[in-house]
Chain A
Amino acid sequence: MASLDWSAIGLSLRLAAIVCTVLLVIGTPIAYWLTFSKWRWKFLVESVVALPLVLPPTVLGFYVLLAIGSRSPVGRAWEGWTGHGLAFTFEGLVLASLLYSLPFMVQPIGAAFARVDRSLIEASATLGASRVRTFFRVTVPLSVEGIITGIVLSFAHTLGEFGVVLMVGGNLPGTTRTVSIAIYDHVQAFQYDEAKATALFLLLFSFVILALVYSLTRKPWAVVPNA
């Protein structure tokens, strides 16, 4: 049995965890705004958020590469601040993955917010609660399943991404060489034993996480209608 590619696995898990955490922080307000805003041009923002769902990863990766390259303002600003470019670095990978996985966080959370009975939110207001208090005491607790789904999907999606990583990060061991790229490399080099072991690990890991999540989100507070 060939040994697992721990360097690639560790890198992928770290990338997925960081992206997932950042997306939770920025994706939740976006989901809230998309759900409750009455702005007439809202659909434009919705479309932009959903773009990564339909664009080929190579297209998205290509544009990100252009945007963070040393000739773009973003790339130059980053270089001036840190001393090195964004392309083919872990930070560049994080940025690209944030864009790529954004809809996987925003959409389930937004859908969960939209399912919260509006009269509960209004009841909270008539009971003197501020919007922030209503959000944390009513909207979020009743959207837990959607939030967990968003976390799991964006984590899994980042873990398994391939095209964007290849375009933006390249294939630098320990820096941008993620699990999916490592597996691809092994196959290209006819190292089937390594590929098998790493792929199996990813498969089992993903299954265990999903099984855990689904077992924990079995409608913790179902309301009996008109009992």
Chain B
Amino acid sequence: MILTAEIRTRLSPDFTLDVRFTAPPGITMLFGASGSGKTTLLRCLAGLHRPDAGRVTIGDRVVLDRTAGIDVAARERGLGYVFQHLALFPHMTVEHNLHYGLAHFHMSVRRERTREIAASFKIAHLLARKPGEISGGERQRVALARSLVTNPRLLLLDEPLSALDHVTKSRIIEDLRAWNAARGLPILYITHSHREVFALGEHVIALKGGRILAEGTPQEVLEMPAHEPLAQLAGFENFFDATVMTVRSSGGTMHCRLADSDAELEVPLARTTEGAAVRIAIRAGDILLAIEAPRGLSARNVLKGTLTSIQREGATMILMVQAGAPFEVHVTPDACESLSLVEGQPVWIVIKTRSCRIVSTGSAAQPL
């Protein structure tokens, strides 16, 4: 089964969702910040929101074609939808939630299908309970099972696992993959987390401002982000405007001077010329920190600076270092403690050449 979609809908004077894509069997991640149009896209596919224009086919069935006047109602599209907050019916037991989509089947068929799906998603022991009486992870499993028990032709997941820890999440995804292995449904999975994109996706569509920014494998889309908005989504915390000083084609590198600073960085070669303006993106987790001048390193960029602030966010210490330009550096709390870091002390930051990504800006953007 393959999903093809072409959707245009104006939600406000300054926001229009305008996308065209194909989703093959398997998981396709819809990746973007909040407000990028992910949920609206899913609602258009499900028939919960009528777009201004567009055409959607699931397999060989046309479920939406505004020019031809086709708009199949949500209840007749034959798809599974797992809502962000799951939308399990709180007044029904798990079993009755699973039965709900099977109303037109005989009771014996309902029981049989429910038994099968409950086994696949490991919720057979929960059938007599109500959604308020089971854990968050169990509820996610029930919601998935409820949307799949009807044998849909397309599965739409709106960040259903965002509240779960990694272990629980990956177990549920394993069960979903196992279930889908023989069926080959297209599964659209909304997320705003680049970790989830790497962990779950085979195919990624990155959305920004209602448009598709990039499409491909997670590596293609996230590892080499040529577009700055995507780089920000993908977890690049540091961006620097810089000027190309020297290009060393033979070494595959070039030297750039950061704007308003005399700090220089060696970065990978890009299609540009000396004197050109570029933008450099660096992940905060890719920068090493030293409290003494490091020697004998393979890394080419060592900058001396001052530690200006230390903040803790969960299991990450966020350090700001002024080294010609402000650098954000992430380290573990243990590392922070063993180095006895204090604000104001001199530090050195170490950045590998390959950790620096050239991202183009504005009209100079290169396709991925």
- A contacts, CB < 8 Å to B: 117, 119-120, 122-130, 133, 137-138, 141-142, 220-224, 226-227
Cβ B87 vs Cβ A123 within 8 A: yes
CA distance A227 to B132 in the complex (A): 8
CA distance A123 to B87 in the complex (A): 6
Tell me if B356 counts as interface (CB < 8 A to partner A): no
CA distance A14 to B75 in the complex (A): 44
Closest residue to B43 on the A side, CB-wise?
Answer: A122
Q: Which of B78-86, B176-184, B342-350 contacts A (4 or more CB under 8 A)?
A: B78-86
User: Quick one: which of B83, B130, B163 has the most chain A CB within 10 A?
Assistant: B83
Contacts of B74 on A, CB cut-off 8 Å? Answer: 122, 125-126
Cβ A119 vs Cβ B85 within 8 A: yes
User: Quick one: which of A119, A124, A130 has the most chain B CB within 10 A?
Assistant: A119
Contacts of B76 on A, CB cut-off 8 Å? Answer: 128
Contacts of B90 on A, CB cut-off 8 Å? Answer: 142, 221, 223
Partner of B132, one of A123, A141, A222: A222
Contacts of B131 on A, CB cut-off 8 Å? Answer: 223
Partner of B87, one of A119, A130, A226: A119
Closest residue to A134 on the B side, CB-wise?
Answer: B75
Cβ B103 vs Cβ A120 within 8 A: no
Q: Do A122 and B136 form a contact, CB below 8 Å, given A117-B87, A130-B75?
A: no
Partner of B80, one of A126, A222, A223, A227: A126
Cβ A129 vs Cβ B132 within 8 A: no
Cβ A126 vs Cβ B103 within 8 A: no
Contacts of A128 on B, CB cut-off 8 Å? Answer: 75-76, 78, 101, 103-104, 150
Partner of A120, one of B89, B150, B163: B89
Taking A126-B75, A137-B89 as given, write out 6 further A-B residue pairs in contact, using a Cβ cutoff of 8 Å, ordered by the A residue number.
A122-B83, A122-B87, A127-B150, A128-B76, A137-B100, A223-B131
Contacts of A125 on B, CB cut-off 8 Å? Answer: 47-48, 73-75
Contacts of B79 on A, CB cut-off 8 Å? Answer: 126
Tell me if B91 counts as interface (CB < 8 A to partner A): yes
Q: What is the minimal beta-carbon distance from A141 to any residue of chain B, in angstroms?
A: 5
Cβ B48 vs Cβ A127 within 8 A: no
Contacts of A133 on B, CB cut-off 8 Å? Answer: 103
Q: What is the minimal beta-carbon distance from B91 to any residue of chain A, in angstroms?
A: 5
Tally B residues with Cβ within 8 Å of A: 33
- Which residues of chain B in 78-134 are interfacial with respect to chain A, using CB atoms and an 8 Å cutoff? 78-81, 83-85, 87, 89-91, 100-101, 103-104, 130-133
CA distance A128 to B74 in the complex (A): 7
CA distance A227 to B79 in the complex (A): 28
Cβ B75 vs Cβ A227 within 8 A: no
Q: Do A223 and B46 form a contact, CB below 8 Å, given A123-B81, A128-B75, A128-B76?
A: no
Cβ A129 vs Cβ B91 within 8 A: no
User: Quick one: which of A127, A141, A223, A224 has the most chain B CB within 10 A?
Assistant: A127
CA distance A220 to B75 in the complex (A): 29
Cβ A120 vs Cβ B130 within 8 A: no
Contacts of A124 on B, CB cut-off 8 Å? Answer: 89, 100
Closest 4 CB pairs of A and B: A127-B101, A123-B87, A119-B87, A223-B132
Show 17 residue pairs from A and B whose CB-CB distance is below 8 angstroms, ordered by the A residue.
Answer: A122-B81, A123-B87, A124-B100, A126-B79, A126-B147, A128-B75, A128-B150, A129-B101, A129-B103, A130-B75, A138-B89, A220-B91, A221-B90, A221-B132, A223-B90, A223-B131, A227-B136
Closest residue to A119 on the B side, CB-wise?
Answer: B87
Contacts of B78 on A, CB cut-off 8 Å? Answer: 128
Contacts of B47 on A, CB cut-off 8 Å? Answer: 125
Contacts of B130 on A, CB cut-off 8 Å? Answer: 221
- Which residues of chain B in 339-362 are interfacial with respect to chain A, using CB atoms and an 8 Å cutoff? none
Contacts of A126 on B, CB cut-off 8 Å? Answer: 46, 48, 74-75, 77, 79-81, 147
Cβ B163 vs Cβ A226 within 8 A: yes
Tell me if B192 counts as interface (CB < 8 A to partner A): no
Contacts of B135 on A, CB cut-off 8 Å? Answer: 227
CA distance A117 to B85 in the complex (A): 10
CA distance A220 to B90 in the complex (A): 10
Q: What is the minimal beta-carbon distance from A217 to any residue of chain B, in angstroms?
A: 13
Tell me if B146 counts as interface (CB < 8 A to partner A): yes
User: Quick one: which of B73, B77, B90, B135 has the most chain A CB within 10 A?
Assistant: B90
Q: What is the minimal beta-carbon distance from A124 to any residue of chain B, in angstroms?
A: 7
Partner of A123, one of B73, B83, B103, B133: B83
Cβ B80 vs Cβ A129 within 8 A: no
Q: What is the minimal beta-carbon distance from A48 to any residue of chain B, in angstroms?
A: 31
Cβ A129 vs Cβ B136 within 8 A: no
CA distance A133 to B75 in the complex (A): 12
Cβ B132 vs Cβ A142 within 8 A: no
User: Quick one: which of B74, B87, B131 has the most chain A CB within 10 A?
Assistant: B87
CA distance A125 to B77 in the complex (A): 10
Q: Do A122 and B103 form a contact, CB below 8 Å, given A128-B150, A130-B75?
A: no
Cβ A142 vs Cβ B100 within 8 A: no
CA distance A124 to B99 in the complex (A): 12
Closest residue to A126 on the B side, CB-wise?
Answer: B81
Contacts of A127 on B, CB cut-off 8 Å? Answer: 75, 100-101, 146-147, 150
Cβ B100 vs Cβ A129 within 8 A: yes
Closest residue to A129 on the B side, CB-wise?
Answer: B75
Cβ B91 vs Cβ A221 within 8 A: yes
User: Quick one: which of A133, A220, A224 has the most chain B CB within 10 A?
Assistant: A224
